[in-house]
Amino acid sequence: MRGRTVSKKAAARHNRVRKQHSDELAEDYVEAIGALLGERGQARVTDLQGVFGVSHVSVIRALKRIEERGLVERTEAGGYELTRTGKAIAEASAERHDLVVRFLLALGVSSGQAEADAEGMEHHLSEESLRAMKAFLESQ
Amino acid sequence: MRGRTVSKKAAARHNRVRKQHSDELAEDYVEAIGALLGERGQARVTDLQGVFGVSHVSVIRALKRIEERGLVERTEAGGYELTRTGKAIAEASAERHDLVVRFLLALGVSSGQAEADAEGMEHHLSEESLRAMKAFLESQ
DNA sequence: TCTTCTATGTAGCCAAGGCTACATTCAGGG
DNA sequence: CCCTGAATGTAGCCTTGGCTACATAGAAGA
């Protein structure tokens, strides 16, 4: 298969990808909550249900886990807000997302597709690759 | 959050990403089986256990599901081989992987990191983005 | 031959991320 | 004052992808 080898390092890489997947949902949630707070001033179960297109039950349980991780907190009003840690992750996540989208656009990818692909890719890029993309954008 | 909006389309995108995740393992397996067949002439449970760094039980169960999808078949020797469909997916998957790695290398990412990032990214790129990457490589 | 090691398989557990069905609570309209 | 609809929550089920522990089966050596 064109020189690809099945090395021992493959195992480590696969473990890395599995680890990334378990963090994806949390990042997507804090990112969405940050956006909702900015746009609507509140982030409730129903709002998130709309964003992700899943049942409210799935949202509630995801939020429970994310709350346990210390990323979000309930407000008295019944909504959710970001903790300091959550805010930092949301910021970083949104920044990374923007960078990836702008990079894909610079490559010539259409706007809608760039959005869609960024959604999937953004959790799998190392700092090194992100820096390379940033450098590419600046060198244009 | 720098202009990102929480649109209705976000739901569709998230569903797409979840769908991609459920296909990732199957693609990784057929790709690995293809590579093993090429390198060692056989692909057994133990070989795959080494590749992915998981228990042999996880391998057996994954293979069972992938066999049900019609991507692999058992050989009399006790190993696994690819069906026509499986072979096609393995080929396409390996090709895509190579393209992504070469692209990251061209961006200036180090070899090890390019390999690692490609592993995570490759399942989340649309045809359009892959074409854009190929065009970039050719324009260099 | 007997024993031991390797490979494979089964049973059963866990966590995450989906779901439907069934409460409950609360606001607003009739 | 009641009823209805929206929002939230709980119970319980499914699948996927991990795991350990235990059971074979077959090869290979003492």
Quote the pLDDT of residue B4: 56
> Å from A49 (CA) to D9 (C1')?
15
Judged by CB atoms closer than 8 Å, whether chains meet at B50 and A8 is answered as yes
Q: Which residue of B has its CA nearest to A4?
A: B35
Triad B54, B95, A101: Cα angle to 5°: 90
Min Cα distance B97 → chain A (Å) is 9
Q: Which amino acid is located at B56 in the chain?
A: H
Say how far apart CA B27 and CA B71 lie, in whole Å.
Answer: 9
The DSSP 8-state label assigned to residue A123 in this structure reads G
Residues of chain A with Cβ-Cβ distance to B50 below 8 Å are 6, 8, 11
> What's the distance, CA B98 to chain centroid?
11
Q: Which among A23, A5, A131 has a CA at the least distance from the CA of B97?
A: A5
Bridging pattern class, strands B72-74 and B80-82: antiparallel
> Å from B86 (CA) to D27 (C1')?
32
Residues of chain B with Cβ-Cβ distance to A38 below 8 Å are 1
CB-nearest partner of B1 from A2, A94, A136: A94
Q: What residues are paired with B80 via a beta bridge?
A: B74
Quote the pLDDT of residue B1: 41
Task: Give this prediction's pTM.
Answer: 0.90
Q: Is A7 within 8 Å of B115 (Cβ atoms)?
A: no
**pLDDT tens digits, chain B, 140 residues: what are they?**
444 567 667 899 999 999 998 889 999 999 999 999 999 999 999 999 999 999 999 999 999 999 999 999 999 888 999 999 999 999 999 999 999 999 999 999 999 999 999 999 999 999 999 999 999 999 98
Q: Which among A39, A37, A38 has a CA at the least distance from the CA of A79?
A: A37
* Residue B47 structure tokens: 């070989």
* Residue B53 structure tokens: 């760094």
* Residue B17 structure tokens: 């990403």
Judged by CB atoms closer than 8 Å, whether chains meet at B11 and A121 is answered as no
- B98 CB-near residues (< 8 Å, 6+ apart): A2, A4
Look over chain A and give the mean of its residue pLDDT values, rounded to a whole number.
Answer: 93
Quote the pLDDT of residue A59: 98
Distances, alpha carbon A103 to alpha carbons A77, A137, B2, B17, in Å: 39, 7, 16, 19
Min Cα distance A89 → chain B (Å) is 12
Q: Which amino acid is located at B13 in the chain?
A: R
Judged by CB atoms closer than 8 Å, whether chains meet at A94 and B2 is answered as yes
Quote the pLDDT of residue A2: 45
Residues of chain B with Cβ-Cβ distance to A95 below 8 Å are 2
pLDDT beyond 90 at A121: yes
The 10s digit of each residue's pLDDT in A36-66 is 999 999 999 999 999 999 999 999 999 999 9
